[in-house]
Structure 1
């Protein structure tokens, strides 16, 4: 009986390892299509960011998923000079097409 229980536990752990990991917000960690982002946003973003995971948030700015060693978190999408990239609703930040 104990051997059968141990085999069941090991099989459940192996099956759990095959599941897709969940990212921020419970979504699977799959890169979004380039078509989701305006080309101007991709051109404005600094090189060390994952622009293909970026999305427009309720604050009016673009945020991207940063996959750290412990957790995945959302960080603001920044330009080379450190300004946040925002849509038209984000006041005081860099707006694609209207960059200064």
Structure 2
């Protein structure tokens, strides 16, 4: 059951790295692997790593509201990190 939950959290796993967070709360230098995996048309300047799910989210500014959306691959899968001691999430 745990493996099924991990698969739903994100199909692409990115290793945990030390990331610097700026005064705005966004990651200053995204890990290179995250940049490689991210689909186009997502704001990579406004990315946060959410503790709740271990996935990267970016700020989307729409015509009506501003909200955080999961950072996704070109396949539409969320980009998440590997948690210490956890097995990598399969694609």
Report the TM-score range of the alignment, normalised by the length of the smaller protein.
Answer: 0.5 to 0.7
Specify every segment of 5 or more residues in structure 1 that has no aligned partner in the other structure, as ranges.
Answer: 1-26, 95-99
Cα RMSD of the aligned pairs, angstroms, is 2.8
CA distance in structure 2 between the aligned counterparts of 1:66 and 1:91, rounded to whole angstroms: 31
CA distance in structure 1 between the aligned counterparts of 2:59 and 2:37, rounded to whole angstroms: 17
Match of 1:51 in 2: 44
Larger radius of gyration: 1
CA distance in structure 1 between the aligned counterparts of 2:87 and 2:70, rounded to whole angstroms: 15
Q: If each structure's strand is expressed as a fraction of its own residues, which one has the higher value?
A: 2
Q: If each structure's helix is expressed as a fraction of its own residues, which one has the higher value?
A: 1
* Large movers: runs of 4+ above 4 Å: 90-94
Normalised by the length of structure 1, the TM-score is 0.55
